[in-house]
Amino acid sequence: MHFGKDPVVSNTAGAAIRQLVPLLFEKALEESRLDRNAAERPVFEPQRLGSNSVPASLGRCGADAYALLQDLCQIMNGEQQTWLIGMTEMTRVLALELIESILMGYRPLFDSKEFSYLLRERLCPLLIKLISPCVRHSRGGAQQPGSSSTGNSASDKPSFPVTVHLIRIVYVLLIAYCDLLRTESEIFYSLLMKFVDSDKVVWTKLLAMEVFFKLLTDPKMVLLISQTYCTKAASEGVFGDMVNTINNYILAVFVKPTSPSASPATSPSTPQQAGTQIFSPTFTYKDVSIQLVPLGKPTLLESRESEPPAATDSYGMSLAFSCLCFVSRTMMELQEALPPTGDENKVALQMLVQHSWCGMLSAVSTLLEASCDDSVTDSLLQICKVYVKAAGLVKMDIVREAFITALCKAAFPINYTIGIIKAASSRVASFRPDAAGLERKANGDTAAADSKNRNQIVAVGTPLSSSFPGAVMLTAKNITCLNTLLDITTALGDLLNNSWILVLASLQHLSWILGMNQIVPGSVNGLAKQRQRANESSQSTILTNVMMSDLPELTKRFDDVFRQTRLLTDTSLEHVVSALCKLSQDALETTAASRDPSLFAVAKMVDVCLVNMFRIDTWWTVVTQNLTEVAGNTNPVLREWGTDAITTLVKECLAYDFRPSLHSNHNLQNKILHPLLALSRIGWADVRLKQFNCINHIILSFAEKIPSCWRPIVEVIGAVNGIADDALIRAGFNCVQAVVSDHLTGISFDCVEQCAEAATRYGNQTLELNVSLTAIGLLWNIADHIFKNRHSFDVTQDRLLESMLTLYKHLSQLCLDIRPEVRKSAAQTLFLAIASHGNALDLPTWHRLIVDVCYTLLKCLEKYCMTASEERIGDEEDGKVVMHHSRDTAKKQWAETWAMVLPTVTKTVLGNLPVVVKLKQPQQAWQGILHHIQRGGISGLEEVSMSALKCLDDIILIGEGREQDKLPLDITVPMWDDVWKACHGVGVGLNDLMRRSPNIESLPSQKLITFYTIIYRRLNHQVRNNFTTEMFRKLQDVFPAIMLPVLNRNASKMMACRAEISPLQDSVLQIAESLQLEVLKPRSPSPHLITELFNLWLKYARHSTSHAVIARALAMEPEYLIRWWAATFSLFSETAMQRVVELYQQTHAWKLVMDSDTLSNIIQAIHQPLKLRQVDAHQTAWRVAVESILKTVRITLPHVNVQSAPVFYNVWIHLASAVDDVLYGDDGQIVEWGTDDVDFEVMNFFRSEILPHVALIPIDDLKFTLNVFHKGSLHRHVMEPSHVLPTGSEKVATLCFEALLDFHLYHAHKIPEADDINLPAILLRCEKILSGLTAESDTNAVSRGKNSLRCIKSVLHSIKQTSVTNVDRQVWHDVIMLYPKLVGLVPVHLNVPLRAEFRNLLAAALLQYSELIQPPFKL
């Protein structure tokens, strides 16, 4: 009847069938509930495959129902029914409809084993079999909508009614029987997802999408699918595949649309049920435009038509979009249920996120890019927010990062690249499904033209990313995404963790593009300063009116993001800070690429820190380290911001009211101030200036809050090494001054030491002279503070003394500064401090102070002075002040300092002499000062040398004062010996200096040398009782060589005239005189020094003939130099020779004088001045020398006898040699010998005083002596024609001849080997000469005749005086024979001027014969 042609009958029959079948199953259900005989029936056993029998375990009604359902399955499969006997025909649609009604209405019946078996083994395989053709059927073989079906065979193309009913049965099984059919359900889900493949017909896709829509609208079903059908932990499961299928459908619609995009899709003819409209947006991508339609009841799944209705992509997109929204809603409900239900829902949420996020991310990203409607965009952004929150709750970092990345990318134009977000996208890419159908392109024509109209551009700005060409255009959708990001950071900040970097990077770029100015607080009083981006005008960002009005609110939201970080957990705050630091590092890299940096990270870092001050330990170290690196950047703007940020944070922290208070938290104090210390390692001047200003503010405003934190403060302000900016020096020094002046009493001893080091550094800097001088004053204040409070410091005595010593070392370092003003001030302060505070030092410290500080200072001063430049400074041409000539070179300025420090050190040692002598090594300290005095004395610098001599004078004054007061001396004998050695060393050094001096200007002054000799004389008095022979000998190394003549610039051209003894010469003479007094005084302890005293005087005596020490400086001709030198010191030598004679007169009888051959030494020494006659006969020194020799010899001769002869053994030769030199000179250089009265006096002295002692004179010495007479003897002129007597020397020559005659007549018989006189030969020669005289004889012949007459006269006179026995007879005979010759000369008239003298001589000779008229013997 149902298949009859009458519609009424057919419909009635169909209704009857639809009522009968449920009735049967109701009876079976009731039977199963009330069956009391069930236990008696056999147990159900699964039937073999192909069996159609009814299980015996069922009751009657149950068996009928079982048989009916089994026949319906057989009918659908095309088999012959078993229980419905007589029914010849039934369509699959009716059978499927009946099965659907059974499954929907009688779910409890299938809990029985029999029906569940039938369901699992018969119905489900049959459904799978019938659905498979639809899965295999592709779009290529599909009919157009509205065409009729021609068959119901499984091999034909799918029938729309059959497919719909099959899908409906599957849907019923999925929602009601999933617990019984888990495996089968997975198969059904798989088949449904295959329906949506891109090559399937549209209606099959939409049919499956409707099933998904119905499933996903039920949150419980969503959870069931995600939790039930997940076979592997790492698999996405059925739920994930479902979401991926929806995503693939969305991608396919945009890539290969199946309906025209220009016309909006319309709903099918089947009327829509009235219901709430969910969405009606539009998506546009490329040339595809999709408009969403309202959704009611499923269009295809509820269809009763035989053909599929007309379906469009808009309807399918609406289903897909709704599915995504319902999944998000389910997830949101789970999030809201997390707190009360605990871990169970959290696991469910984790499963849901894990299975769906990949597909959801792809779909949302695609739709968000294509969305052109604000409401749709909001919905998509809400999905992102839900997933971000869910991922955060279940700790799925990659999911959270993926959705944050998608949001961040959506906030920018398509091809705008941010490095951090790009890296995040790469990490997520491995987890995302293939989305090859939706690749973003870099060009700007990827969207349709109408998209540009709807997505209005609201802002145009400069890109921060270097990879983006041109200007950046932001749309309203970008701003909407930006607001979503701000919402997420505000609401979900604790869940973002590592994703904070993505959000903040996006905010940084957006703030740059929108031209938001960054602000860093400038001070604790709320003032702020604003910085524009470098090299960018205010017109770089273009905003619409709407955007311009919204910008203040948007800026406020930006700021709120960072202000609300105070509500985050510590871990989240660490992530925020880490992200800002990373952005800051990127900004540093940007500057390296010569691009303008973003100041966003620095500014917001400060904002975050200021609102999280209560948990400073969480962020302080990381932030300040990063800001320190920023402050050290080469970019000036970034460097300024980094420095401002650090100083602001430090000041704000110090102003903050911590609990417990900052005053009691020492560690926190140090932590807060540590960044300022790190800035000290940055060399930029602007950074250091802000650092010093901040420190100054801290000192003035917060000093009472940081009692234990002065150490880092002082360390900061003391880090001035390498600073080349005077403004920095002044700023830093103001801080040091503030600490020392106002807070020195309140800081620890360690900080006091630090202050001293800091003040020293400021003193050493060379940019600001006033700062250096003031720093020295601060060092004095510190030293005085330590001294006055030394008993109140909580340190050991050793530490205190070490600190004082260190401070003295600091001052000594400043004494070596390159600026003379600083050196002078430092030296005065140093020794004032030592004088004022020295009584607090113990002996070891005193020793270190003297040796390590004072002596080291002197050593360095000597080094710097001797190596300093001698170039003139302060040249007028350079615009500088002309300096005095005494300070116009660096060397002279260093000499001034050395000359000032040396006596100060000396006074320090002498003033504390009782302490010095008690030192462990007093000799080291004492010899040390003497060493430096000696070094100063021989420095070659007049000022320093004079200062050194004054130091020696101070030492001597101590001894003299104690001696006058008759007090015990603090200076011991060994110490005086050391003083004497030092003084002697000065003299030796001065001699060497004079010897090396290249010019007169470099010679020591008369004043200096005179002062030295005075000191030496006074020092000799102090050591008089301990004066040794060695000291006397060393004394001669200095004196008189150290004497200088009075010089002027024309010394080389002027001959010195005889003048009074200069003060210098007089002082040198007084040295010897003072020593002589000590040696000669009664009961003298040093009479043994008499010989050395003679040596000293004798050295004085020959000084006029000694080598000129300053010969190099004088630069005179050698001959002229000798004469000039002799003339200069003539009077000095004469005085010395006179003193020698006087001394010898007093001591000649001393055995020591006699034994030491003193007379011989005197003759040898005075022998040198005798030679001055050869140089300049007009000089008087050689005459005084002659007189001195004659006097000393006369004093000695009375004591010469046979017994004392050996004592004077060496006298005779030296005496003869001296006479020889004074008479004839070296090699006979004196041509006019014998013409001076001195010559006659000397030769007469020899004849009368010396020759009588010939028996005591060694034979060789006697020969030499006689040879002296022989050289000048008259007979030599007679005997040797070539020998010429000087005019006027006849008297001396006659004397010499007579002396020879005396020796010949009186002593020759005793010492015949010494006699070389041959009287007969001489007389014969005289006769010959006289015989040759005629009136025509020349002058030479007459002169020889005259000398012959003299010889005859002398011979006659001598032989008459001697004993007859001493004269040879031949001599007498020759003499008598001469008489006629002489008489014969009387009438000769000579024609020469000498004839009168000749006649006189002839008369005198003849007169000698008067006594010989009678011979002496009888004939």
Confidence band of 431 (pLDDT split at 50, 70, 90): low
Which DSSP string corresponds to 408-474?
HHHTS-TT---HHHHHHHHHHHTTSPP-TT----SSS-SS-HHHHHHS-EEEEE--SSTTS-S-EEE
| Residue 1010 identity (one-letter amino acid) | T
CA 1197-1199-1203 angle, to 5 degrees, is 120
Q: Higher model confidence: residue 766 or residue 282? A: 766
Token digits of residue 714:
């002082």
Closest CA to 906 of 941, 922, 930, 935: 930
Backbone angles phi, psi at 462, to 5 degrees: -85, 135
Closest CA to 72 of 28, 103, 106: 103
The three-state secondary structure class of 519 is strand
> At residue 1268, does pLDDT exceed 50?
yes
Closest CA to 95 of 66, 117, 68: 68
Gap between the terminal Cα atoms of the chain: 231
In the prediction, which pLDDT does 145 show?
41
In the prediction, which pLDDT does 648 show?
92
Beta strand 542-543 with 282-285 is: unpaired
Cα-Cα-Cα-Cα dihedral sign, residues 1037, 1039, 1045, 1047 = positive
Alpha helices in 796-876 (DSSP H): 797-814, 820-837, 843-848, 856-867
> At residue 295, does pLDDT exceed 90?
no
In the prediction, which pLDDT does 958 show?
84
| Lowest-confidence segment of 175-179, 871-875, 1211-1215 by average pLDDT | 871-875
570-592 and 419-429 helices, crossing angle to 10°:
120
Whether 696 contacts 738, CB under 8 Å: yes
CA 121-124-130 angle, to 5 degrees, is 125
Confidence band of 808 (pLDDT split at 50, 70, 90): very high
For 490-522, what is each residue's pLDDT tens digit? 898 898 988 899 999 999 888 888 888 877 655
For 925-966, what is each residue's pLDDT tens digit? 899 999 999 999 988 888 899 999 999 999 888 877 665 655
Beta strand 528-531 with 288-291 is: unpaired
Mean pLDDT of 729-753: 89
> At residue 1029, does pLDDT exceed 90?
no
Closest CA to 520 of 592, 596, 609, 590: 609
The three-state secondary structure class of 283 is strand
Whether 352 contacts 344, CB under 8 Å: no
Residue 371 is classified by DSSP as B
State which H helix or E strand residue 291 sits in: strand 288-291
Whether 815 contacts 901, CB under 8 Å: yes
In the prediction, which pLDDT does 533 show?
43
In the prediction, which pLDDT does 965 show?
55
Q: Where are the beta strands (DSSP E) in 448-545?
A: 457-461, 472-475, 518-521, 528-531, 542-543
Q: How far apart are CA 1129 and CA 774, in angstroms?
A: 55
Beta strand 472-475 with 282-285 is: unpaired
Confidence band of 258 (pLDDT split at 50, 70, 90): low
Q: How far apart are CA 76 and CA 99, in angstroms?
A: 10
Q: How far apart are CA 1006 and CA 1079, in angstroms?
A: 29
| Lowest-confidence segment of 49-53, 1067-1071, 1348-1352, 1410-1414 by average pLDDT | 49-53
Residue 1086 is classified by DSSP as -
In the prediction, which pLDDT does 1227 show?
67
Q: How far apart are CA 487 and CA 407, in angstroms?
A: 12
In the prediction, which pLDDT does 622 show?
93
In the prediction, which pLDDT does 454 show?
45
Q: How far apart are CA 543 and CA 528, in angstroms?
A: 26
Beta strand 472-475 with 518-521 is: unpaired
Residues in Cβ contact with 1045 at an 8 Å cutoff, skipping those fewer than 6 apart? 1051, 1056, 1062, 1125, 1128, 1129
CA distances from 881 to 509, 884, 889 (A): 60, 10, 13
In the prediction, which pLDDT does 550 show?
87
Cα-Cα-Cα-Cα dihedral sign, residues 48, 52, 56, 59 = positive
> At residue 1418, does pLDDT exceed 60?
no
Q: Higher model confidence: residue 451 or residue 1356? A: 1356
Q: How far apart are CA 135 and CA 1408, in angstroms?
A: 185
> At residue 40, does pLDDT exceed 70?
no
Q: How far apart are CA 126 and CA 132, in angstroms?
A: 10
In the prediction, which pLDDT does 806 show?
92
| Lowest-confidence segment of 616-630, 934-948, 1043-1057 by average pLDDT | 1043-1057
Cα-Cα-Cα-Cα dihedral sign, residues 588, 592, 597, 598 = negative
Closest CA to 650 of 595, 725, 706, 599: 706
Q: Which residues pair with 284 in a beta bridge?
A: 289
Instruction: Give Cα 404 distance to the centre of its chain.
Output: 45
Beta strand 282-285 with 457-461 is: unpaired
Q: How far apart are CA 623 and CA 654, in angstroms?
A: 16
In the prediction, which pLDDT does 610 show?
92
Confidence band of 883 (pLDDT split at 50, 70, 90): low
The three-state secondary structure class of 1417 is coil
Token digits of residue 772:
């250096």
Q: How far apart are CA 734 and CA 738, in angstroms?
A: 6
For 697-731, what is each residue's pLDDT tens digit? 998 888 888 887 888 888 888 888 778 888 888 99
* Strand ranges of the sheet holding 457-461, from the earlier edge strand across to the other edge: 472-475, 457-461, 542-543
CA 504-477-266 angle, to 5 degrees, is 145
For 1122-1139, what is each residue's pLDDT tens digit? 777 777 778 888 888 888
Confidence band of 135 (pLDDT split at 50, 70, 90): confident
Q: Which residues pair with 527 in a beta bridge?
A: none
CA 831-834-836 angle, to 5 degrees, is 105
| Residue 404 identity (one-letter amino acid) | I
Q: How far apart are CA 822 and CA 766, in angstroms?
A: 10
CA-based radius of gyration for the chain: 67
For 1310-1347, what is each residue's pLDDT tens digit? 677 666 677 777 777 777 777 777 776 777 777 777 77
In the prediction, which pLDDT does 904 show?
93
State which H helix or E strand residue 288 sits in: strand 288-291
Cβ atoms within 10 Å of 843's Cβ, excluding its own: 13
Q: How far apart are CA 1141 and CA 1161, in angstroms?
A: 12
Alpha helices in 157-289 (DSSP H): 160-176, 182-195, 202-216, 219-228, 237-255
CA 1053-1055-1057 angle, to 5 degrees, is 150
Token digits of residue 563:
């202000």
Closest CA to 913 of 868, 957, 863: 957
CA 794-798-801 angle, to 5 degrees, is 95
Closest CA to 1052 of 993, 1002, 1129, 1123: 1123
Q: How far apart are CA 753 and CA 199, in angstroms?
A: 87
Which DSSP string corresponds to 1018-1069?
HHHHHTGGG--HHHHHHHHHHTTTT------TTTTT-PPPP-PPPHHHHHHH
Closest CA to 642 of 656, 619, 624, 622: 624
